[in-house]
Amino acid sequence: MKQFWYAVTLLTGCLLYPSVASAQTTPGALLQQMERASQSLNYELAFISVSRMGIESLRYRHAVIDNKTYAQLLQMDGPRREIIQRGNEISYFEAGLEPFTLSGGRIIDTLPSVIYGDFNRLSSSYDFIPVGRARVADQVCDVIRIVARDGTRYSFIVWIDTDTKLPLRVDMLDRSGETLEQYRVISFAVDDGIRKVMQGLTKANMPPSLSLPPAKKQMFSWQVGWLPQGVKEVSQSRRDIPTLNKPVESRLYSDGLFSFSVNISPADKNSVPQLLRNGWCTIQTEVRNNTEITVVGELPPSTAKRIADSVSLGAKP
């Protein structure tokens, strides 16, 4: 398989104050407040995202105008790369590429998925553990660790500003405690002036929507026998991939924090069992009964392999 996946790796420490997150507010309630603040406030963040490709400096602006979400993610160094959200439309602008628009409810690039988590749902399969208090961007934050109860996924540590409830730092950790990805705010402002700055997006001309190949919906003859606790199927599709010259059947799964897909296609001379991992992303491929089974997503390798091993095949796709 010729795909390569990149993720961030950085070991960082943090001096925690001995006080617990909050004597009067549960960790789950604090996380819900974080999710609401991230989607309802008018604010601007300057933050860094650390990866094996280097450290990215970015600016994120968010505003709600006439009950509609407007947001902008801008890469601050190097070639200009900008992503703009206007309601349910996400538009991409990058040097050397034709701008395009996709449908979506939020900007997913670089921003941690945990910021938008449904913590009522997640509470059935994750523990929310208060760690203490610490300073980030000169603000006192409540620190909460999010850990899957069955031990099959990565974990998060989240620093939540005690005043605004915005997330000022998020670390994704593997099961040995190594930091795989880090989002860290350097400075921020919560101000209605941001709303005025974003007002111009309400009348801006955006690039046309990108037409994606239609997915062929059908009943699959194969099943996944084991999934981590709390994981549910989100969608399924069958597509003919021109570059592979063969059909691929896919099921997409998510637990609300992490997503992955299980992909089934006919084996060919290039099909070999293999494991590729870079940071938080794993590609686990197995070949069985002239069929290629590939699990791709935000999973530890042992979990991806267990899922692939559990797939039961019917007739060949």
Where residue 236 sits, what CATH number does that domain have? 3.30.200.100
Q: Which residues sit opposite 275 in a β-bridge?
A: 284
Shared-domain flag, residues 182 and 295: no
CA distance 208 to 215: 20
Do 186 and 49 lie in a common domain? yes
Q: Which long-range contacts (CB under 8 A, 24 or more apart) does 204-212 make?
A: 204/84, 204/86, 206/84, 206/86, 206/89, 206/91, 206/101, 207/91, 207/92, 207/93, 207/98, 207/99, 207/100, 207/101, 208/100, 208/101, 209/89, 209/100, 209/101, 209/102, 209/103, 210/100, 210/101, 210/102
Query: Over the stretch 286-311, which tens digit does the pLDDT of each residue have?
Result: 999 999 999 999 999 999 999 999 99
Asked whether residue 167 falls in the same domain as residue 40, the answer is yes
- Residue 86: give its domain's CATH number: 2.50.20.10
Are the C-beta atoms of 4 and 278 separated by less than 8 Å?
A: yes
The Cα–Cα gap between 262 and 284 comes to 10
pLDDT given at position 243: 67
Residues 171, 257 within the same domain = no
Are residues 109 and 245 both part of a single domain?
A: no
* pLDDT, tens only, 183-228: 999 999 999 999 999 999 998 889 988 766 665 567 899 999 999 9
Q: What range does the domain containing 120 cover? A: 27-203
Q: Both 226 and 297 in a single domain?
A: yes
Q: Does residue 211 belong to any structural domain of this protein?
A: no
The whole-chain average pLDDT of the chain stands at: 87
Average pLDDT over residues 17-24: 46
Residues 197 and 226 in one domain: no
Per-residue pLDDT reduced to its tens digit, 134-160: 999 999 999 999 999 999 999 999 999
- Number of structural domains, the chain? 2
Do residues 196 and 259 both lie within one domain? no
**Does 162 fall in a domain?**
yes
pTM for the predicted model, two decimal places: 0.85
- Is 13 within the bounds of a domain? no
Kindly state whether residue 84 falls inside one of the protein's structural domains.
yes
Residues 248 and 307 grouped into a single domain: yes
Same domain, 153 and 282: no
| Angstrom distance (rounded) from CA 73 to CA 230 | 31
Residue 18 has pLDDT above 70, yes or no: no
